[in-house]
Structure 1
Amino acid sequence: MNILPYIIPPMIAVLVVSTIMSIIYKDKEKKDKGFVLNYYRLTYRRRFIRTVWAVPIVSLIYIALYRFSDITSNEYKIIGVFFFSLLLLDIGYNYSKWKKNEKK
């Protein structure tokens, strides 16, 4: 089963929407307290916390994918490395930006 047609279009859509949202909220005031659904309205501290909370969710999605999908072992490993690499990069980026903005 070739899963690339199911992965590439959503990834392109996410990148386009993410770019548009980051441009729209670039100079807007960021919130550090209260509930905010939109990720781009959060401070880097809150983005970091939200990303750390995503670790168990991504793990559960990965386990569900393993349990209920019909993909090969190599595809499963590639998807796992991709998911967790993105998660670790996002955690590191948000942490470094949070500490950098905290010094200002």
Structure 2
Amino acid sequence: MSWISATIYRNKEKVDKGFVFAYYKLSYRRKLIRILWSVPLVILCLIIIYKLADWSQIEFILFSGILIIGIVMQFCYVFAKWKKYERHSLKVEL
């Protein structure tokens, strides 16, 4: 399903102000902000899972590690794309 949204919003103008529900409609800067806002929610979910799930310590650490690595990788990717887009747009303006 996500490739459908990505295809629909591929060449459309991205939104940099205001609330937008569709992730693919956001600019890279706004995607980065959304990732940062999601970190406390992920931590809260991990705490709830730790308290309620009947997982062993190793299972929980493995799950948490994979989730955190995924978030860090997504953050690094979007940050790099944002900086690349920012540099490209500055060259176009000059």
Give the structure-1-normalised TM-score. Answer: 0.80
**2:69 aligned counterpart, secondary structure:** helix
2:2 to 4, 7, 18: 18
- Counterpart-to-counterpart distance in 2, 1:25 and 1:57: 26
Equivalent position SS for 1:71: coil
In the TM superposition, what is the alpha-carbon distance from 1:19 to its structure 2 partner? 2.3
Read off the aligned partner of 1:63 and give its amino acid letter. Answer: I
Say yes or no: does 1:34 pair with 2:18.
yes
Greater relative contact order (CA < 8 Å, ≥ 6 in sequence) = 1
The residue identity in structure 1 corresponding to 2:24 is: Y
Taking only aligned residues, the RMSD between alpha carbons, in angstroms, comes to 0.9
Aligned length: 88
The alignment-based identity, stated in percent, is: 40
Query: C-alpha distance in 2, partners of 1:82/1:67?
Result: 19
From 66, 80, 86, give the equivalent of 1:102.
Answer: 86
Residue equivalent to 2:71: 87
The one-letter code sitting in structure 2 at the alignment partner of 1:101 is Y
